[in-house]
Amino acid sequence: MVNTKVTLSGLTLDNPIIPASGTFGFGYEFADLYDINILGSISCKGTTKEPRFGNPTPRIAECTDGMINSVGLQNPGIDKVISEELPKLAKVYSKPVIANISGFSIEEYAYTCEKIDTHPQVGIIEVNISCPNVHNGGMSFGTNPDSAFEVTKAVKAVTKKPVYIKLSPNVTDITEIAKACEAAGADGISLINTLMGMRIDLKTRKPVIANKMGGFSGPAIFPVALRMVYQVFDAVKIPIIGMGGVSSARDVIEMMLAGASAVQVGAANLIDPFASKNIIEQLPEVMAKFGINSLEEIIGGSH
């Protein structure tokens, strides 16, 4: 019998599989399909201080082995998330969850973090400084070590819960950003968010996406994500949640060998709502095939 348990900042997860923010709603939407309690945890839909309608449509473009989104952080706002969405999730999911928050100023990040901190089911706060689809926020905080430091410091000041900072791959050196977050007190790093991309419609000769560009995700970005997890593992001592194009149990094991302590599944959930469940079910067989008794033992094992 193999051991799939992993630990993240003192939280023990039954397995490392976590549906990624923005690809699994607030989790309860999937509870009619299967028992979502098999999931290691859930990273909930990104939440901001105010409700957001998101970007104009079209905001999705298909690509070979992936997709581009420009959703624009659509969400009901922190108050409704606390009063309506998380209570619905609590009815069908009994484990600690990851709250994913975004903002347009350092004060907004801190405000939303302080509010979500009060929710008992939130085990980890994931701070998104990497959304490529909004102006004056999101990724603009995650592409500069100084602003990454400032956001991290501000959110750490208002919560005692573990804070993981979600990083953008759209930078020259991701290790500089990760080190700045660690220096400011981050408890962990989540990486990677989407890569900036675009498509052009040959009939209209215009960008497919109304916002012109968006974030590219899916299996095509897996090697980029893996490389960045590998680099960040060498650069910091805090745990990493790896993500980016993960679509199989083999991908999960690769991510963990690169240095991830847990793994998020993103675009795969949009292709197949059972993707995270299938990966969890595949894991023991793939572990046995490669002689892995315990997943915790392989973290960073490729270095």
128 binds ligand SIN (CB under 6 A): yes
72 binds ligand SIN (CB under 6 A): yes
133 binds ligand SIN (CB under 6 A): yes
Q: Which of 8, 42, 71, 163 binds ligand SIN (CB under 6 A)?
A: 71
Q: What six digits make up the tokens of 49?
A: 């201080």
Q: Are 77 and 50 in contact (CB under 8 A)?
A: yes
Question: C-beta of 250: minimal distance to ligand SIN in Å?
Answer: 25
Q: What six digits make up the tokens of 282?
A: 């595949």
> Which of these segments, 24-32, 66-74, 82-90, 183-191, binds ligand SIN (CB under 6 A)?
66-74
The question of whether 131 is a catalytic residue gets the answer yes
Query: Strand, helix or coil at 264?
Result: strand
Cα 242 from Cα 193, distance rounded (Å):
10
20 binds ligand SIN (CB under 6 A): no
Peptide bond before residue 76 is cis, with ω within 30 degrees of 0: no
Site for ligand SIN in 144-173 (CB under 6 A): none
* Residue with tokens 């901190």, as numbered in its chain: 117
Question: C-beta of 38: minimal distance to ligand SIN in Å?
Answer: 25
Say which DSSP state 117 is in. Answer: T
66 binds ligand SIN (CB under 6 A): no
Cα 164 from Cα 2, distance rounded (Å):
28
Among 297, 301, 296, 298, residue whose Cα is nearest residue 8: 296
Catalytic residue among 44, 63, 113, 131: 131
Question: C-beta of 126: minimal distance to ligand SIN in Å?
Answer: 10
46 binds ligand SIN (CB under 6 A): yes
> Which of these segments, 2-10, 125-133, 174-182, 237-245, binds ligand SIN (CB under 6 A)?
125-133
Q: How far is CA 120 from the centre of its chain?
A: 20
Question: C-beta of 173: minimal distance to ligand SIN in Å?
Answer: 20
193 binds ligand SIN (CB under 6 A): yes
> Which of these segments, 5-13, 28-36, 110-118, 128-136, binds ligand SIN (CB under 6 A)?
128-136
- Return the sign of the alpha-carbon dihedral for residues 18, 107, 70, 93: positive
Q: Which is nearer to ligand SIN, 17 or 195 (CB)?
A: 195
Kindly give, in sequence order, each residue whose CB lies less than 8 Å from that of residue 146, ignoring residues fewer than 6 positions away: 180
Q: What six digits make up the tokens of 211?
A: 């916002």
Q: What six digits make up the tokens of 116?
A: 């979500």
* Catalytic center residues: 131
Given the rule CB under 6 A, which residues bind ligand SIN? Answer: 22, 46, 69-73, 128, 130-133, 193-194, 215
